[in-house]
Each structure stands twice: as structure tokens, then as C-alpha cells.
Amino acid sequence: MPILVDSRYRLLRYSGLTACTPNESEVEQALGVRINDDTRVLERAGREILEQTKMQAVLITRGSRGMALFVPGAPTVHIPIFGSDEIADVTGAGDTVMATMALALAAGATFELAARLANYAGGLVVMKRGTATVSAAELRDAVNRDH
């Protein structure tokens, strides 16, 4: 059973779990770095979080820059945002990403497929105002439209 953590700026207090989905500012705070658009800093930061937490995967959410998935022994997977970058409301986006990733992993998805599905869900929820949900039908439609 996958175990994921949403640490809210206490990222390095957890170790040995399945995955975590910190946003970029949480990673920056944990490591004392500034990532911005520097992919080398992002790469080092993602690998450092993997090493320090002993997670099986780290999915860093980067807002309009998409997501970056880090898995030991595998190349980093950069996932561009789904949808437009005209955001209505980011409330609950991180929770949506976490929940979708956990559900996909529990259903047997690989880390990359789970991250890609979570990216769709996060992209859909930020286009809605207020605390929003994404239905299975909306998620299915988004994946089908994109392929």
C-alpha cells in the first residue's frame, strides 16, 4: 500500500515512505536554495530530497513550470502543465495532486503514470474557483483530449 506525505514545510522530517509531492517553495525552504528556472539547481534539489528522505519517488510541483518527478536510478521526468496557465484558484491543487497520485499508485500505476495523471487533475482543479474537486469523468475527458 503506498504511503504519501504532505509535509507542509516539514519535508525532511519524514523518511522511507512511498512518495512526497512538495511544491517548489517547500523544497527551497528545506534545502536553503533558490530554484527559479535553473534546471541544474532543480535536479540537485530533487536528488537531495530523494536521498535525505529515502522516498521511492519525489514529485516536485512547480506551478506554471509543471512538475518534476525524481525516482532513484532513473532520469528526471519533466511534466509540463496541463491546461492553460490562466489560473482561477490554486486552493486545493496540492491536495488534488497528492490524492490522485496516491490513488493511481494504489491502483498499480508506475510513478510516472501516477504523476502524469496527478498533473491532469491538478491542471483541472486550478481552473475552477474556490475549493474544487475533479470527477473521474473530467479526468478521463482531459486525458482523452490530450491524446
C-alpha distance from residue 65 to each of 44, 47, 51, 145 (Å): 17, 18, 23, 21
Task: Decide: 101 and 114 in contact? Cβ < 8 Å.
Answer: yes
Radius of gyration of the chain from Cα atoms? 14
Q: Which of 89, 95, 141, 146 is catalytic?
A: 95
Annotated active-site residue 146? The verdict is: no
Q: How far apart are CA 108 and CA 67, in angstroms?
A: 21
DSSP lists the bridge partners of residue 23 as 61
Q: Which three cell numbers stand for residue 111?
A: 510513478
Q: Which residues are catalytic?
A: 95
